[in-house]
Every structure is written in C-alpha cells, then in structure tokens.
Amino acid sequence: DIGMTQSPDSLAASLGERATISCKSSQSLFSSSNNQDFLAWYQQKPGQSPKLLIYWASTRESGVPDRFSGSGSGTDFTLTISSLQAEDVAIYYCQQYFNSPLTFGGGTKLEIK
C-alpha cells in the first residue's frame, strides 16, 4: 500500500495569510503513461462530505477559487491557500489514486488564528 503522510496535523493562520499543507507519499505517484501525478486534494468542512479541490497534483477543479493551488511531483506535494478566507476553515486531505488500495493522508485541520 502507498502510505500518505500529511503535515502539519493542524494549522492556524490569520485571515489573508498564506497557508501551506504538505503531503508525502511512500512511492512516486508520477506516471510516464500520461506524465501526470495521481494526487488529489479534498476539503471537508464541518458536518459535510468532502469536496474535490485539486487533481493531477495541480489541476484546480471547476468552481474552486484560484486562491487554492497544488504543486509538487513524485513523492512531495503541497496545497497552498494564497489568502486565507473564513470559509476555508476545514480539514484538508491528500489522496493518491495511482493504484489500489486508494489511500488518504491523515488530514490537516485548518483554523483561523
């Protein structure tokens, strides 16, 4: 199984600040078949189901604000929120969809300072 490790476990930032979440995989998620990394980011707000934010490590899902961006390749990935808004309070998960079993990171809880 591919292990997914997120850091930090929790993060508090001020409104308008940049927030950065790291995700590391135990093996490369890059596929030469399509030159893409099989890495997605999800946002789960309290009491809600998860929502897809980013896929192929850096492609923003339709309708997701452009303050959310994904970067990285291979085994090291980052989700960045450029200017934190109150509605961004949530738990963020990375997930590999390179192979089965699909695996998620442990989640990063983002709060407003």
Partner 1 sequence: QVQLVESGGGVVQPGKSLRLSCGASGFIFSDYAVHWVRQAPGKGLEWVTFISYDGSTKHYKDSVKGRFTISRDNSKKAVYLQMSSLRPEDTAVYFCARGRGSGSFLIDYWGQGAFVTVSS
Q: For tokens 């896929």, what's the residue?
A: 55
* Residues binding partner 1: number (CB under 8 A): 24
Q: State yes or no: residue 41 binds partner 1 (CB under 8 A).
A: no
Q: If you write DSSP's letter for every residue of 60-80 in order, what string do you get?
A: EPTT--TTEEEEEETTEEEEE
**Applying CB under 8 A, which of residues 24, 51, 60, 67 lies at the interface with partner 1?**
51
Task: Say which DSSP state 54 is in.
Answer: E
β-strands 39-44, 36-37 pairing: unpaired
Of 61-80, which residues contact partner 1 (CB under 8 A)? 61
Nearer to partner 1 among residue 102 and residue 112 (C-beta)? 102
Query: CA-CA distance, 68 to 39, in Å (whole number)?
Result: 15
Burial 4-26 (b: 16+ CB within 10 A, else e): bebeeeebebeeeeebebbbbbe
Whichever of 83 and 99 has its CB closer to partner 1, that residue is 99
List the one residue from 25, 43, 58, 95 that touches partner 1 (CB under 8 A).
95
CB of 14 to partner 1, least distance (A): 26
- By CB under 8 A, name the binding residues for partner 1: 38, 40, 42, 44, 49-52, 55, 61, 91, 93, 95, 97-107
